[in-house]
Amino acid sequence: MYEKEVEEELRRWQRKMKKRPSRLSSKTKEWQNKINDRLPGVYHQTATICVQKTIEAVLAGNTFVTKEPEEKPMTLKECDDEVRRLFQLYRRTAVFEGIGTGAGGVLLGLSDFPLLLSIKFKALFATAAAYGYSPKEESERQLILLIFQLAYSSGDDRAELLEAISDHLEQRLLATDWQALQLRYRDYIDVPKMFQLIPGFGAVVGGAVNHTLLEKLEETAMNVYRMRWLNRLNMQ
């Protein structure tokens, strides 16, 4: 039965999310912090403003319009297959966008940040609709932001965010620190995106990094909505 296979996949994924960071991960984080300190101030400023404005737009619900959720009942496998198809399209878009902006050096490299954010949230809104939920609902948009945050978090933050998502799925809505979200996201992608600012070389890096970031988002979004599906199934 497909649902049983998904349950086992979810258990493995949740264990991975709750696993404490290794010593190597801690060293990597220290190295990343040193690199971040050397990035141009305009990069940090652009990144912070883009994430802040995107979060505000998502919470306001006035952008990233997507189609309405399917009215006809779908199986979990049908929903998963549809989301895989959607992310294949969004990944392709993100790769071409990363190659194009990475080829132009610093100025075009900076423009990749808002473009990539837009692609990611369009993918998340479409994912919600594919599983039968409407992003027009404020609680759904809050969940989308939590999914985004979980996808690009590391270390101890992941276990905390996974618990926050579980609370959200059980309708125990909690206040979320959106300021922390934008800092986590910016720090998560700063180092790979730094190499995208190098003319020529940035084209190769930009496409590869964007592909990886969309893969991470797909895995996280699918598993959260699978958790939700199975929770609802168990309550029936």
Nearest to 172 by CA among 231, 100, 219: 231
Instruction: Give residue 33's pLDDT band: very low, low, confident or very high (50, 70, 90).
Output: low
- Do residues 197 and 109 make contact, with C-beta atoms less than 8 angstroms apart? yes
12-20: long-range contacts, CB 8 A cutoff, minimum separation 24? 13/219, 13/223, 14/162, 17/150, 17/158, 17/159, 17/162, 18/158, 18/159, 18/162, 20/155, 20/156
pLDDT at position 204? 57
* Rg (the chain; Cα; Å): 18
Using the predicted structure, report yes or no on whether residue 32 has a pLDDT greater than 90: no
Instruction: Return d(Cα 123, Cα 230) in angstroms, integer.
Output: 22
User: Mean of the pLDDT values across residues 34-43?
Assistant: 62
Would you say residue 147 has pLDDT above 90?
Answer: yes
Q: Are the C-beta atoms of 190 and 39 separated by less than 8 Å? A: yes
- Is the whole model's pTM more than 0.85, yes or no? no
For residue range 91-106, what is the model confidence (pLDDT) as tens digits? 999 888 766 655 444 4
Q: How far, CA to CA in Å, does 146 sit from each of 40, 55, 77, 87, 124? A: 29, 11, 24, 18, 11
- Cα of first residue to Cα of last residue in the chain, in angstroms, is 18
pLDDT at position 65 over 80: no
pLDDT single digits (tens) 167-226: 888 765 555 565 666 667 766 665 555 555 555 545 556 677 788 889 999 999 999 999
User: What per-residue confidence (pLDDT) applies to 39?
Assistant: 59
Looking at residue 14, its pLDDT comes to 93
Most confident of 34-38, 148-152, 184-188, 218-222: 218-222
Q: What are the tokens at 11?
A: 């258990």
Q: CB-hemisphere CA count at 13 Å for 18?
A: 9
Residue 107 has pLDDT above 50, yes or no: no
